Chains A and B, each alone.
Chain A
Amino acid sequence: PTPPYLRWAESLHSLLDDQDGINLFRTFLKQEGCADLLDFWFACSGFRKLEPSDANEEKRLKLAKAIYKKYILDNNGIVSRQIKPATKSFIKDCVMKQLIDPAMFDQAQTEIQSMIEENTYPLFLKSDIYLEYT
């Protein structure tokens, strides 16, 4: 069978599907000062998994606000700088009007994912940290 670290080079999803791959990628991103990109990507996935129900409405609202505050509100943040202004105002609107939808971060997540796929993921595959691991 193919060793995990070779599968990580096949696609971003193969990398993000493996806990060791995530850990190594995050260490690399941390060195580059952009671990927030990965944290945000996973936060969006985790948020989407929270099914709307009467029991967790408050939690979903609190979580949506927390994601918004930490990654999107500060325009100088690494995540915020990679998200289109229209996408940011859409999320801001959802939070302000308390219209909490499981898909409200989907577009922002897609934009961050494209940036990772085009930029940090190829750099990771060429990095010392990955080459030493292999």
Chain B
Amino acid sequence: YKSDDDLLLKCIGSAMPKRR
């Protein structure tokens, strides 16, 4: 299992706009 922090970071990153 991934750690909670890792899971949170991925989740936060998934909501960010993609770089143009």
**A and B co-occur in one complex:** yes
B residues in contact (CB < 8 Å) with A: 1, 4-5, 7-8, 10-19
Residues of chain A at interface, number, CB under 8 A: 22
Please pick, from B8, B13, B15, the residue contacting A70 in the complex, using a CB distance under 8 A. B8
A residues in contact (CB < 8 Å) with B: 16-19, 22, 39, 42-47, 49-50, 59, 62-63, 65-67, 69-70
* Inter-subunit contact A42/B16 (CB<8 Å): yes
Main secondary structure of the interface of B (DSSP, over half): helix
* Inter-subunit contact A63/B17 (CB<8 Å): no
* Inter-subunit contact A63/B15 (CB<8 Å): no
* Inter-subunit contact A49/B16 (CB<8 Å): no
Distance A6 CA – B8 CA, assembled complex (angstroms):
31
